[in-house]
Amino acid sequence: MTSFDVDLFVIGGGSGGVRAARIAAGYGAKVMLAEEYRVGGTCVIRGCVPKKLMVYASRFADEFHDAQGFGWSVGETRFDWATLIRNKDREIDRLEGIYRTNLEKAGVEIVDSRAVIADAHTVHVLKTGARIRARTILVAVGAHPTLEPVIPGGELGITSNEVFHLEQQPKRILVVGGGYIAVEFAGVFAGLGSEVTLLHRGDMLLRGFDDDVRIALGEAYAQRGINLALGRTLTSLEKTPGGIAATLSDGSILTVDQVLVATGRRPNTKGLGLENAGIAVDEVGAIPVDGYSQTLIPSIYAVGDVTNRANLTPIAIREGHAFADTVFGNKPTIVDHDLIPTAVFSTPEIGVIGCGEAAARAIYGEIDVYKTAFRPMKATLSGGKDRVFMKLIVDKATDKVVGVHIMGHDAGEMIQLAGIAVTMGATKADFDRTVAVHPTAAEELVTMRTPVVVKKPQAVG
Ligand SMILES: Cc1cc2nc3c(=O)[nH]c(=O)nc-3n(C[C@H](O)[C@H](O)[C@H](O)COP(=O)(O)OP(=O)(O)OC[C@H]3O[C@@H](n4cnc5c(N)ncnc54)[C@H](O)[C@@H]3O)c2cc1C
């Protein structure tokens, strides 16, 4: 009979790996977890959490401005980057400690080392040289940001990993990318007073989001003074006495203090030894898995960003949890990746669940669209320029709300709650019979009564 050192070896102590390890240990499994950098992974150490703290920091300027319309005199204000970074780091250290303690309390043995796969049941712990035999291996190694595409001088750019540790706030920053990470950091630096250019090769930000939201965000960012350089790419970077000279595809040159490249992330599968177990990765380097997160090799599973399904923390956590339930809890569980509420922490914020209008038309055919755009009540006295935008998409055949799109203050908080209704299969009639909470911005979600008239293409002949 084959004997194993552990029931489960988890490679990667991020959102997915930590959850899987704790739940599996709770079912009585003997679990070892290897982490090569810091326990907590991308989300806690250099993703969602530090980013949101920076987003909070960036929004105080609006508050100071808005306060005056309500009678407050706000004296001179000053922002100190070093204080923010120091306090943020302290919080991240605290959270890492909690993650470690929780793993230890659950009985998980943590190994602070890189680990690679030696074969279908063996993990090589590089720091100690140990070869651990595991009944099951879970690959939860996440992904990393890339400086792509490769261009002359590209190494002068930084990624989201480095942006959290800059010694100084850049006075002028070029953010490259149109996805949520680029958009969020552009908002952060603009709020903190940097001169921001957001460069994106597409014509609109946030590909994959509803077009109305994409347009509304572009307008809001332009209104906030962010220089949108759309339909262009970065062709080279060069160090000059005045800073970093960035040449764009239209020949224009921009001189800035930092260039943040947020154009994409790649799964951390390079050098992981997957080939030793007979696992092939896909074209972006992700590990293919089935609904139970199992690879083609029965003893090896993979969860989170390394599988490139939906690269978000709550999804990695769910996948890790479902894996542990399936393999160690005798509760086979598949994670539904269909309806995922999500937020973009731009300023103004975005919250979304379900389909955008174009996707809904393709899936459902006949749909009703409800839209509203308005000035939030607070802006009446503050003079704030941001508007709120909301959009509901309803499948005509079933009356189900299949898309909710919100842009405005606290849209992330709103979409979490609207997400419950949509996940439950709420109809437009359910939204209509929900009593409004007045006066709020969110009440508009239940008071939109008239669908927008969609112009049908003229029949020919
Ligand atoms: C800037 C930024 C902002 C984000 N904001 C949000 C947000 O607001 N909301 C949201 O839901 N998601 C957000 N995300 C995405 C989120 O962070 C990821 O989806 C999530 O962390 C994925 O979890 P994971 O467990 O798959 O991987 P990770 O959390 O990346 O964990 C993988 C871990 O494995 C370790 N590792 C890698 N290789 C090895 C090895 N061979 N041996 C040992 N250890 C190894 C790594 O060091 C890492 O700690 C953000 C990401 C970034 C970069």
Pocket test for ligand 1, best of 10, 23, 32, 43 (most atoms within 8 A of CB): 43
Confidence check: pLDDT of 307 > 70: yes
- The one-letter amino acid code at 316 reads A
pLDDT for the residue numbered 458: 52
pLDDT tens digits for 66-109?
A: 999 999 999 999 999 999 999 999 999 999 999 999 999 999 99
| DSSP structure string for 290-343 | -TTSB-SSTTEEE-GGGG-SS-SHHHHHHHHHHHHHHHHSS-------S---EE
Residues of the chain with CATH 3.30.390.30: 342-446
> Predicted confidence band at 61 (pLDDT cuts at 50, 70, 90)?
very high
For residue 32, the CA-to-ligand 1 centroid distance in Å is: 19
Can you tell me the mean pLDDT for 388-411?
Answer: 98
Can you tell me the mean pLDDT for 423-437?
Answer: 98
HEC letters along 232-267: CCEEEEEEECCEEEEEECCCCEEEECEEEECCCEEE
315 is in an annotated binding site: no
For residue 358, the CA-to-ligand 1 centroid distance in Å is: 31
Whether the CB-CB separation of 260 and 234 falls below 8 Å is answered with: no
Q: What is the CATH number of domain 6-144+266-329?
A: 3.50.50.60
The Cα–Cα gap between 93 and 59 comes to 24
The protein residue with its alpha carbon nearest to ligand 1, atom 3, reads 47
182 is in an annotated binding site: yes
Cis peptide before 348 (omega within 30 of 0): yes
Can you tell me the mean pLDDT for 363-374?
Answer: 97
The overall average pLDDT reported for the chain is 96
Enumerate residues 6+ apart whose C-beta is below 8 A from 71: none
CATH of 342-446, picked from 1.10.10.10, 3.30.390.30, 2.40.50.100, 3.40.50.300, is 3.30.390.30
Confidence check: pLDDT of 291 > 80: yes
Can you tell me the mean pLDDT for 428-432?
Answer: 98
Residues of the chain with CATH 3.50.50.60: 6-144+266-329, 149-262
The protein residue with its alpha carbon nearest to ligand 1, atom 12, reads 312
Q: CA separation (Å) from 284 to 121, 184, 449?
A: 25, 24, 44
Which pTM value belongs to this model?
A: 0.96
Confidence check: pLDDT of 456 > 60: no
Can you tell me the mean pLDDT for 127-143?
Answer: 98
Kindly list the protein residues whose Cβ atom lies closer than 6 A to any atom of ligand 1. Answer: 11-17, 34-37, 41-43, 47-48, 51, 114-116, 140-142, 160, 181, 268, 272, 304-306, 311-314, 316
Is 438 considered catalytic here?
Answer: yes
Whether the CB-CB separation of 207 and 136 falls below 8 Å is answered with: no
243 is in an annotated binding site: no
The protein residue with its alpha carbon nearest to ligand 1, atom 49, reads 41
pLDDT tens digits for 224-240?
A: 999 999 999 999 999 99
CATH T-level topology, domain 149-262: FAD/NAD(P)-binding domain (3.50.50)
